[in-house]
Amino acid sequence: MSTAAATTKPARVNLRRPDIMEAVREQVEQHYRSQIVEKLRQRGSFLEAAGLTVRLAKEFGFCYGVERAIDLAYAARKFFRDQDIYILGEIIHNPEVNDQLLAMGIKFLSGPHKSADIDRLTANDVVIIPAFGAQVEIMNKLKAKGCQFVDTTCGDVMSVWKRVTQNAKEQFTSIIHGKAKHEETLATSSRTIANEGGHYLVVLNVTETDYVCDYIRRGGDKEEFLRKFPGAHSPGFDPDRDLVSIGVANQTTMLRSETEDIQRRFRQAMIDRYGEDALDKHFRMFDTICGATQERQDALIQLLKQPLDMMIVVGGYNSSNTSHLAELSEACIPTYFIKNANEILSARIIRHFNLHKQQEVQTENWLPDGPVSIGITAGASCPNNLIDDAVRRLFQLRSVNVDEIIANH
């Protein structure tokens, strides 16, 4: 390939044209829509029969950003009919959705479905950027190859990028509340070091935050500090130098309450070290939690105020926002985190993901014989058809046909 060919910028293609979107909409709805969910929402989001009451959260399932990402991926397949299409990794954290992309002939460049290598791509190839975004280094490599991009990066994620980029330009280290190996956090942290002198540190929880706050107040063993955060800080990170001025950001799918707690702790640490009058020189924070993530957390909190015996959370086990819903719920009532209705093996046995063990487990005698009330919710990456399947499966265990109930009411 010539240098000119490799550096020629591909012509921009508008995949959101009405004709393309109309063709895609029917296919997407066929794969993911649920008439049962729509009808239950019209009925107040609950259904009762044979002693079983199922209540749906007011907000769950696909958010706008996820819908947009899926629409664009389907549109790419429609438009680039005769070209190879690749995706950097999972478009969202839901196995059913990613399996659909595989079935459509889209090839994965990383993860368990990897079937191609980024180094072998050419200017003739189309590359889908997932909703999480991508690291700057990877984007630069693809641009150098002249690949055609289909960028599905969520707008909320890009808002965080703007914040951390500004931090780096003003010599504020970005403290990112998130999971260091999560695709979104990797993409966000890469924006901090794209500017010379930019730095970042990723903290997972309050425990790690308190350790960093203690270091801010009193200093400590630099080598020990770095050992505690392997793979979670920028190259050349020096806590003595890089914790003097910080800006707190976050992975958009974390728990808002935890992020706010972390922000408060860092703010107080800076006040303790430098005084309130100097706070603006040493600390800044922004609300960068995704709106849809917060809506689903709020809806779950409201649902938990209903008389419930248990909760079922549906979604991908590697989905951050879905995991946090399960975490919120299990603090209140018995909760079963399942990837789909196939995990409901019988009225006696359910297979579900244990957040503490980080593995699937089986629980016996989970569903009582008598009257029982079950709440159902799902994260922003879970399609409605999976909720549909879960509702049908639960009533099937009581020998009830959901379609007949709804048709008669």
Q: What is the mean pLDDT of residues 345-371?
A: 96
CATH for 156-289 is 3.40.1010.20
Among residues of the chain, what percentage have pLDDT more than 90?
79
Q: What is the pLDDT of residues 52-101, one digit of tens each?
A: 999 999 999 888 889 999 999 999 999 998 899 999 999 988 999 999 99
Q: What values do phi and psi take at 278, rounded to 5? A: -100, 10
Q: What is the pLDDT of residues 283-331, one digit of tens each?
A: 998 777 788 888 999 999 999 999 999 999 999 999 999 999 999 999 9
Which pair of structure tokens corresponds to residue 84? 């190879």
Nearest C-alpha neighbor of 143 from the set 130, 159, 127: 127
CA 328, distance to chain mean position in Å, is 16
Q: What is the pLDDT of residues 103-160, one digit of tens each?
A: 999 999 998 889 999 999 999 999 999 999 999 999 999 999 999 999 999 999 999 9
pLDDT at 341: 97
**Domains of the chain by residue range:** 32-62+292-407, 65-153, 156-289
Cα–Cα dist 153/134, whole Å: 8
Q: What is the mean pLDDT of residues 16-21?
A: 84
Axis-axis angle for helices 256-274, 206-218 (nearest 10): 10
Over 80: is that where the pLDDT of 13 sits?
no
Please state, rounded to an integer, the average pLDDT across all residues of the chain. 92
Where do runs of H (alpha helix) occur along 148-205? 155-169, 183-192
Pick the CATH number of 32-62+292-407 from 3.40.1010.20, 1.10.1270.20, 3.40.50.300, 3.60.150.10: 3.40.1010.20
The long-range contacts involving 234-238, CB below 8 angstroms and separated by at least 24 positions, are: 234/189, 234/192, 234/193, 234/198, 234/199, 234/200, 234/201, 235/193, 236/199, 237/199, 237/200, 237/201
CA 78, distance to chain mean position in Å, is 26
pLDDT at 261: 95
Catalytic (active-site) positions? 184
- Which stretches of 135-289 are assigned E, i.e. beta strand? 148-151, 173-177, 200-203, 246-250, 283-285
Same fold, 32-62+292-407 and 156-289: yes
Cα–Cα dist 312/372, whole Å: 13
Query: Is the distance from CB of 367 to CB of 396 less than 8 angstroms?
Result: no
Q: What is the mean pLDDT of residues 180-202?
A: 95
pLDDT band at 8 (very low <50, low <70, confident <90, very high): low
Which pair of structure tokens corresponds to residue 111? 């993860």
Q: Which residue has the tokens 């609950």?
A: 46
Cα Rg for the chain, rounded, in angstroms? 23
Cα–Cα dist 69/28, whole Å: 11
What CATH architecture applies to the domain 65-153? 3-Layer(aba) Sandwich (3.40)
pLDDT at 6: 45
pLDDT at 9: 61
